[in-house]
Structures are given as C-alpha cells and as structure tokens.
Structure 1
Amino acid sequence: MNQIVVTQVRSAIGAKPKARGALRALGLGKIGRSHTLPDRPEIRGMLRKVSHLITVQEIPGEAGDAQTA
C-alpha cells in the first residue's frame, strides 16, 4: 500500500472549523509538522478539504503488499 507524507505549510487561523478538524484528524496542528499516512479514500477526502494548508508527497509501496483473495 502506498504511503503519503503530509506537511502543514500554512496556519489554520481563519480556516473554517471543518478544515481545522480535518487537520487534527490528519495529525497536524502546527506549521512544519509532518505525518505519514496510508493512501486511502477517507484520507484523500480530508486532504482535499485542507489542500490550501498542506503539501503532499507520495511514497510508493512495495508490490508484495497487496493481499490476494
């Protein structure tokens, strides 16, 4: 599974409450703080909500991580 490194680059002061909540849920809260998260749809939705406050870097995962049914 791919990983995403999210870094906060702008302040949440003046941001809407839902955007501040999304930052907290992503493990951020201060400028310069980074957090590594799994690349899942619910995480992508939160990233979309606060895209003006963060930068995102993708880290490709290994091919052997996929589960077979």
Structure 2
Amino acid sequence: MADKGNNTLKVTLVRSIHGRLKNHQACVRGLGLRRMHHTVTVADTPENRGMINRVAYLLQVEEA
C-alpha cells in the first residue's frame, strides 16, 4: 500500500443543513462544521470519509 504522504482533507460546508435528515446534520457536526462556508481540516480516515460520503452533496472537499 503506497502512502500518499497527504493525510488531511479540507472540508467546507457549501449548502445549508436546515431541513436535512437528522443523521446528515449529525455527520456535518461530527466533521466539526458549524455554519455555511466554514472550513475545517480533518484527518483522512475511513470514519471521516464515511461521513463525507454521506453528506457529499453539502460539502466541498480538497486534499490539504
């Protein structure tokens, strides 16, 4: 398994969580996002990838 040497992701909330499913809201909060256009850096782990995949339609993701 090759290591990319890049193990963080920059995640930005670009759509509102109002009116979304409760578990989608929980995933956004679990990633540490608090408001629109808030950006956080998270570790590239399977757990974080799973939350990102579930709410990908609300997020913009970049490798950091």
TM interval, shorter chain, is 0.7 to 0.9
Q: Does 1:6 align with 2:17?
A: no
Match for residue 17 of structure 1 among 9, 15, 22:
22
Q: Percent identity?
A: 37
Which amino acid counterpart does residue 58 of structure 1 have in structure 2?
E
Report the number of matched residues.
59
Say what the alpha-carbon RMSD is for the aligned residues: 0.9
Structure 1 unmatched ranges of 5 or more: 60-69
**Could you state the TM-score of these two structures normalised by the residue count of structure 1?**
0.81
Normalised to the residue count of structure 2, the TM-score between the two structures is: 0.87
Unpaired segments of 5 or more residues in structure 2? 1-5
* Cα displacement string for residues 13-63 of structure 1 (whole angstroms, at most 9, x for unaligned residues): 11100000001100012101010001000000000111010000012xxxx
Runs (4+) of structure 1 exceeding 2 A deviation are: none
Match of 1:47 in 2: 52
The one-letter code sitting in structure 2 at the alignment partner of 1:6 is V
The structure that has the greater radius of gyration is 1
